[in-house]
Amino acid sequence: MPYSRFREEYLALLNAIKAKSPKPDLKLVKKAFLFSFQAHKSQKRLSGEQFFTHPLDTALRLADWGMDSETIAAGLLHDCLEDTETSEQNLKRRFGPGVLELVKGVSKLAIIASKTRKSQKRVEDLEKLLLAASKDLRVLIIKLADKIHNLQTLQHLPRPDRERIALEALTVYAPLAHKLSMHRVKFEIEDLAFKTLHPERFEELKKLANSKKRLLEKHSGILQAKLKAECSKAGIPVMFSKSLKSTFAMDQKCQHTGKEPMEIEDFLIIYILTTTPENCYSILGKLHSLFKPVPGKFKDFIAVPEHGLYQALHTKVIGPNGQKVKCYISTFEMLETANYGIICFFRNPGMKNKKLLHEKLEWLQSFLKPS
């Protein structure tokens, strides 16, 4: 096979699609894979790698996010119009109008970003232009996947270019991911950009966070055990997950509060997961009866979703060792929506949060309309 070097990645792509897509069009994806490989065959990145590694990584990320086959095919083809001699007619004939429109949309975003950069408009204007350019929100999702791989492979660019791309990612693409409620994507973009702009500060905070994590995990285990026992008595299913605050978020908190990194308390967030909103409130009551809540630190994003989509109960309690512990209580579905936002609309149309997703979609579409 001509793409034998990428056979492992090709199989990984197919496996990711099969695992997360209920009705995959594997023929379409294979056709796009082969076409993109041939179109970019003679092109190299500055690293010396074949250019094809970039659209392939974009497609792998889209598959991992659970996007549909049409979007994944467009991810494989997203640079064909801009960087090869491929025509729109050729793409339409081979892959259909849906894939063509997605590829055209991504190309349009690149053109708008370039023009805006040259005209030195404000980054806020660029964000609005990106949104205004997207008739199909999947275009923005492809662009974010594309941007993450670009941020991961900046090391071969001259320093001024690295810093320009990283700053644009922080000021445009991370807020864009936030608007789409794609928080996991937002945090990844922020940390990749922050690492490029401030490598020493990034490593300092990362090292500190990891050392604090070990200490906090030890004490949070006591909190989890006590809460789990109370929930078990009441017949409430509960699971726990932990996450470090993103390195960029830590830096921003230091700047906003004037505190040193060692003074920041909520490096670690405990996610308390259950099955229904009613259980979330019951767990909150039990948590607050076991551990004293910190005044002014409770927020109810279940009753009033943040940005129309994010749902969770936020609280901070005094843990068993006297340290403050940040806890987020939500259902499993709420956590999935918090991580992936608008992506859930495309990959899981039967989810219970469908009403919220529709409302978010309508809000975004109204935002897209020029004022």
Q: Which of 64, 83, 136, 265 is catalytic?
A: 83
Q: CA-based angle 166:167:171, to the nearest 5?
A: 120
3 state DSSP class of 223? helix
> Given the structure tokens 């119009």, which residue do they identify?
81
Cite the DSSP H helix spans in the chain.
7-20, 26-39, 53-64, 69-77, 80-83, 88-119, 123-132, 137-152, 159-168, 174-179, 183-197, 199-233, 247-257, 277-290, 332-340, 343-347, 354-368
82 carries an active-site annotation:
yes
- The sign one gets for the Cα dihedral 113, 115, 117, 119 is negative
Q: Residues near 310 by Cβ (< 8 Å), separated by ≥ 6?
A: 181, 183, 301, 337, 338, 341
What is the spatial distance between Cα 328 and Cα 284, in angstroms, rounded to a whole number? 9
68 carries an active-site annotation:
no
Is residue 77 classed exposed, middle or buried when 0-12, 13-18 and 19+ CB atoms within 10 A define those classes?
buried
* Structure tokens, 210: 């990891």
Best CA proximity match to 268, nearest among 289, 240, 296, 292? 240
Asked whether the beta carbons of 78 and 142 are under 8 A apart, the reply is yes
Q: Which of 49, 82, 203, 217 is catalytic?
A: 82
What is the spatial distance between Cα 115 and Cα 124, in angstroms, rounded to a whole number? 14
Residues serving a catalytic function are 82-83
